[in-house]
Structure 1
Amino acid sequence: MGTVAVIDHPLVQHKLTLMRRKDTSTNDFRRLLNEISTLMAYDVLRDIPMHEITIDTPLETTTASVIDGKKLVFAAVLRAGAGIADGMLTVVPGARVGHIGLYRDPKTMVVVEYYFKMPPDLDERDVVIVDPLLATGFSAVAAIDRIKEYAPRSIKFMCLVACPEGIDVLHRAHPEVPVYTAGIDRELDADGFIRPGLGDVGDRVFGTA
């Protein structure tokens, strides 16, 4: 099976705990989502390609390493994935952002795509698909399927919370795609929600519940 990296830095775990609390306000939840995404970006992008450039320091000319942020794409699964992308743009402001609109039919659990927009030349870019939850895994698989049609240089999947069932579904379909998460929760319930989980992240971010 594929790789799963649990980002267990104390700051990440602290903010995840605050997000889990049902009495966390919409404003605080949104702020915490931005902060935790920024922190997780350091691990998710640990192996991002670099190249050497020549610069002038106050004392001399030297060579130093930089990333090419324009070659990086954060593919946000709507709605709440956009909040993760915003946080990651804090540390990589030059990255491009794509959007994948997916929803899960509550009766059939079938994933329906309603929007797809990516930057051009995806075959020359590294893609990080961002979605707050890896629950049933169906949306993640659908998102990866679509991104693969454009043959990017690499694909990663990042979420705040996953469950064993979702990880299994994703890696059965795409075993080479690594998963980065802040936590692996106990289980998926009969309604397709992760337990103990975060609740509906989209509703909590936008105050629609």
Structure 2
Amino acid sequence: MTDPHLTVITHPLVQHKLTIMRQKDVSTAGFRRLLREISLLLAYEVTRELELTTTTIETPLCRMQAPTLEGKKLALISILRAGNGLLDGILELIPAARVGFIGLYRDPQTLKPVEYYCKVPALDQRMTIVVDPMLATGNSVVAAIDMLKARGARNLRFLCLLAAPEGVARMREAHPDVPIFTAALDERLDEHGYIVPGLGDAGDRMFGTK
């Protein structure tokens, strides 16, 4: 049955690159490159419903009415630090997007998010795409979206590389109006709150801090 709240992007290139990323012996440079590449493909899907209008242009042969994006430029919000890996690739596709950052870390005992930074553009009337590679417990993403809604965001999407059923359920409960786009819905969380089978800590693998 189709879930309007969750879109799993099954494009063959997405799935192939994700399989390589999951392997524990992939280098830091290789992981970072693959994350950038896969983010371009994910961004293609999450922006599929952008509104269009028309504008008059001159081709080498004639004038025509041609499609162009309507409304304010997109806002991309990275949940630090791992979100930056997805952000870099998406900006290659949408270089004019406005960019913001939210700093949250997960308390290792309670698994609850703790805010340490927030700097975002004006969000009113913009499609706002929140990016973080992993949707695990969902607590950090829910907290980030709470913060963005308090700052005027109304048209929100969440984009991640992997999701756990627990995180999807948490998001559905807290923000049923925010659709999730992911490359895979994995099996479960382990006792430490990591996605299984997953790919480990995305931030550590991206920045070589494991």
* Fold equivalence (TM over 0.5): yes
Cα distance, 1:80–1:183 mapped onto 2, change above 3 Å: same
- Provide the C-alpha distance between the structure 2 equivalents of 1:70 and 1:79, rounded to a whole number of angstroms: 26
Once the two structures are TM-superposed, the CA of residue 12 in structure 1 deviates from its matched residue by 0.2
Residue 19 (structure 1) aligns with: 21
CA distance in 2, matches of 1:4, 1:107: 29
Question: 5+ unaligned residues in a row in structure 2: which ranges?
Answer: none
CA contact (8 A) 1:157 1:180 kept: yes
Contact 1:2 1:177 in 2 (8 A): no
Using the size of structure 2 for normalisation, the TM-score is 0.96
Q: Please state how far the C-alpha of 1:57 moved relative to its aligned partner.
A: 0.1
Structure 1 Cα separation of the partners of residues 4 and 110 of structure 2: 27
> Does the CA contact (< 8 Å) of 2:125 and 2:155 recur in 1?
no
Relative distance call for 1:116 and 1:184 in structure 2 (3 A) is same
Per the alignment, residue 161 of structure 1 pairs with 162
How much does 1:83 deviate?
1.1
Distance 1:70 1:25, change over 3 A: farther
**1:31 maps to which residue?**
33
1:207 CA displacement:
0.4
Cα deviations across residues 131-178 of structure 1 (Å, max 9, x unaligned)?
000000000100110010122240000100001001001110011110
1:139 partner letter? S
Shift of 1:108: 1.3
CA distance in 1, matches of 2:44, 2:71: 14
CA-CA distance at 1:189 after TM superposition: 0.7
Matched, 1:105 2:89: no
Select between 190-199 and 69-78 the one with higher mean Cα deviation: 69-78
Q: Percent identity?
A: 55
Q: Please tell me the residue identity of whatever aligns with 2:183.
A: A
Q: In structure 2, what is the equivalent of residue 46 of structure 1?
A: 48
Q: Take 1:112 and 1:126, find their aligned partners in 2: how far apart are those partners?
A: 25
Give, in whole Å, the separation in 1 of the partners of 2:52 and 2:118.
29
1:118 aligned onto 2:115: no
Alpha-carbon deviations, 1:160-204, whole Å to 9, x = none?
Answer: 000100100111001111000000000001100000001000000
How many residues align structurally?
A: 208
> Do 1:89 and 1:95's aligned partners in 2 also have CA atoms closer than 8 Å?
yes
What RMSD, in angstroms, separates the aligned Cα atoms of the two structures?
1.3
Determine helix, strand or coil for the equivalent of 1:62. Answer: strand
* TM-score normalised according to structure 1 size: 0.96
